[in-house]
Structure 1
Amino acid sequence: MIGIIMFFCALFMLLFGYPVAFTFGAVSVIFGMIAGIMSVGLDAGLMEGLQAGRLMFAFMPHRIFAIMNNTILMAIPLFIFMGIVLQKTKLAEKLLESMGFLFGEVRGGLAISTVLVGALLAASTGVVGASVVAMGVISLPVMIKYNYNNKLSTGTICAAGTLGQIIPPSIVLIILGDVFQVPVGDLFKAAVWPGVYLVGAYVIYIVIISFLNPKSAPPVRIEDSHGTKKQQVFKAIKAIVPPLVLIILVLGSIFGGVATPTESAAVGGVGAVILSILYREFSFKLIFDSSLETVKITAMVFGILVGATAFSMVFTYTGGDMIVEEFMLGLPGEKWGFLILSMISIMVLGFFIDFIEISYIIVPILVPISEAIGINPIWFAILIAMNLQTSFLTPPFGFSLFYLKGVAPPQVKTTEIYRGVLPFIAIQAVILIILAVYPEIFGISQGF
Structure 2
Amino acid sequence: MIDLNSLFLPGFVVALLICLMSGYPVAFVLGGVSLIFAGLGVLAGSFDATLLAAMPQRVYAAMTNDILLAVPLFVFMGAMLERSGIASELLDGIGRLFGRRRGGLGYAITLVGAMLAASTGIVGATVTTMALLSLPVMLKWGYSPRLAAGAICASGTLGQIIPPSLVLVLLADTISSAYQKAQLEQGIFSPETVSISDLFAGAIVPGLVLVGAYLIYQIMMAWLRPDTCPAPPVVAGQEPPAIGDLLLRLFPPLALIIGVLGSILGGVATPTESACIGAVGAIVLAGFGPERRARANLTLLLLGMAVVLKTVVLPSIGLSLWAERIVLLVPVLCFLAMLVIALGQTLRNGGMSKTCEETARLSAMVFMILIGAAMLSLTFRGFGGEEIVQHLIDSVPGGPYMALAMVMAVMFVLGFILDFIEIIFVIVPTVAPVLLMSDIDPIWFAILISLNLQTSFLTPPFGFALFYFRSSAPPEVKTTDIYLGVLPYIAIQTLVLLTVAFWPQIATWLPYALR
The answer to whether structure 1 residue 193 and structure 2 residue 188 are counterparts is no
Structure with greater Cα Rg = 2
| 2:51 corresponds to | 56
Q: Give how far 1:22 is off.
A: 0.9
Q: Give how far 1:56 is off.
A: 3.5
Q: Give how far 1:4 is off.
A: 4.0
Match of residue 429, structure 1, among 459, 481, 494: 494
| 1:176 corresponds to | 171
Q: Distance in 2 between matches of 1:445 and 1:286?
A: 38
The answer to whether structure 1 residue 402 and structure 2 residue 467 are counterparts is yes
CA contact (8 A) 1:154 1:421 kept: yes
SS in 2 for 1:351: coil
- In the TM superposition, what whole-angstrom CA distance separates every residue of 1:22-68 from its partner, at most 9, and x where no partner exists? 1111110121122223336xxxxxxxx8xx54x43232122111111
SS in 1 for 2:416: coil
Specify whether residues 222 and 133 from structure 1 end up closer, same or farther in structure 2 by C-alpha distance, changes over 3 A only.
farther
In structure 2, list runs of 5 or more residues that go unmatched. Answer: 1-5, 177-193, 293-341
Give the TM-score normalised by structure 2: 0.81
The answer to whether structure 1 residue 69 and structure 2 residue 61 are counterparts is no
SS in 1 for 2:45: helix
| 1:92 corresponds to | 87
Aligned length: 434
Amino acid at match of 1:251: L
| 1:44 corresponds to | none
| 1:30 corresponds to | 36
| 2:240 corresponds to | 229
CA RMSD of aligned residues (A): 2.0
Q: Give how far 1:409 is off.
A: 1.3
Q: Give how far 1:224 is off.
A: 8.7
CA contact (8 A) 2:393 2:400 kept: no
Q: Distance in 2 between matches of 1:235 and 1:224?
A: 20
| 1:350 corresponds to | 415
Specify whether residues 205 and 191 from structure 1 end up closer, same or farther in structure 2 by C-alpha distance, changes over 3 A only.
same
Which shows bigger deviation, 190-199 or 55-64?
55-64
SS in 2 for 1:229: coil
CA contact (8 A) 1:115 1:157 kept: yes
The answer to whether structure 1 residue 332 and structure 2 residue 397 are counterparts is yes
| 1:105 corresponds to | 100
CA contact (8 A) 1:24 1:308 kept: yes
The answer to whether structure 1 residue 268 and structure 2 residue 278 are counterparts is yes
| 1:256 corresponds to | 266
Q: Give how far 1:77 is off.
A: 0.4
| 1:314 corresponds to | 379
The answer to whether structure 1 residue 419 and structure 2 residue 484 are counterparts is yes
Q: Distance in 2 between matches of 1:222 and 1:198?
A: 32
Specify whether residues 4 and 193 from structure 1 end up closer, same or farther in structure 2 by C-alpha distance, changes over 3 A only.
farther
Match of residue 288, structure 1, among 353, 363, 368: 353
CA contact (8 A) 1:152 1:216 kept: yes
| 2:222 corresponds to | 210
Match of residue 368, structure 1, among 427, 433, 439: 433
SS in 2 for 1:35: helix
Percent sequence identity is 47
Give the TM-score normalised by structure 1: 0.93
Amino acid at match of 2:197: G
Q: Distance in 2 between matches of 1:416 and 1:36?
A: 53
The answer to whether structure 1 residue 341 and structure 2 residue 420 are counterparts is no
CA contact (8 A) 2:153 2:466 kept: yes
CA contact (8 A) 1:166 1:191 kept: yes
| 1:43 corresponds to | none
Specify whether residues 320 and 222 from structure 1 end up closer, same or farther in structure 2 by C-alpha distance, changes over 3 A only.
farther
CA contact (8 A) 1:72 1:261 kept: yes
Amino acid at match of 1:228: E
The answer to whether structure 1 residue 149 and structure 2 residue 144 are counterparts is yes
Q: Give how far 1:339 is off.
A: 1.4
Q: Distance in 2 between matches of 1:222 and 1:310?
A: 61
Q: Give how far 1:125 is off.
A: 1.3
CA contact (8 A) 2:118 2:159 kept: yes
CA contact (8 A) 2:96 2:240 kept: no
Specify whether residues 87 and 253 from structure 1 end up closer, same or farther in structure 2 by C-alpha distance, changes over 3 A only.
same
Q: Distance in 2 between matches of 1:8 and 1:420?
A: 35
Which shows bigger deviation, 90-99 or 204-213?
204-213
The answer to whether structure 1 residue 136 and structure 2 residue 131 are counterparts is yes
Q: Distance in 2 between matches of 1:444 and 1:9?
A: 43
Amino acid at match of 2:346: S
Which shows bigger deviation, 435-444 or 176-185?
435-444
Specify whether residues 103 and 4 from structure 1 end up closer, same or farther in structure 2 by C-alpha distance, changes over 3 A only.
farther
Q: Give how far 1:336 is off.
A: 1.7
In structure 1, list runs of 5 or more residues that go unmatched. Answer: 41-48
